[in-house]
Amino acid sequence: MSNSQTYFKPDDCAAAMAQAEARYAKLLLVVGRSGAGKTAMLRTVAKQSEIPLLNLGVELSQRLLPLTTRDRKLRAADLIADLFDETGAPRVAVDNTEIIFDPGLAMNPDGLLQTLSRTRLLMWSWNGKVEDGHVIYAEPGHPEYHRVSADNMTLITVE
């Protein structure tokens, strides 16, 4: 199987999942602007495939709330890993993921996704766009702006 970037449409979700699971980092990014239908697609796939659907923004926020600002930075990535481990599932759909870009948490989104997807398939909602071979979150100049190469990634683009 080729390791080049591959774009799928929502109807080809099964093929996208199969490709992502064959990679070292079992990461399937579901990319689209806010309101494009990422959540609806993830809900449908999760229900049909009996995959847990995790609302990362809500779940992580609840765990971060009692922590100090310093401890939030230190523990955020581990708390996310704990959330996935608690599902006990080999596949997890993840929505409302914008929290990983919060500058106050000082996380490395690329490294986090690579690490988390080594042991399970992650169907990860990415609120943004694909442009010039890159996946982009936010706009240049925004404090949460993030641009990562789409090489060796499996993507579903939702328009």
Task: In whole angstroms, give the CA distance from residue 32 to residue 146.
Answer: 15
Task: In whole angstroms, give the CA distance from residue 78 to residue 70.
Answer: 14
CATH of the structural domain 6-157, one choice from 3.30.1490, 3.40.50, 3.30.470, 3.30.590: 3.40.50
Interval 25-76: pLDDT, tens: 999 999 999 999 999 999 999 999 999 999 999 999 999 999 999 999 999 9
Task: In whole angstroms, give the CA distance from residue 148 to residue 128.
Answer: 11
- Alpha carbon of 88 to those of 11, 17, 81, 83, 121: distances in Å? 27, 18, 11, 9, 12
Interval 66-93: pLDDT, tens: 999 999 999 999 999 999 999 999 999 9
Question: What tokens were used for 86?
Answer: 């608690």
**Predicted model pTM:** 0.93
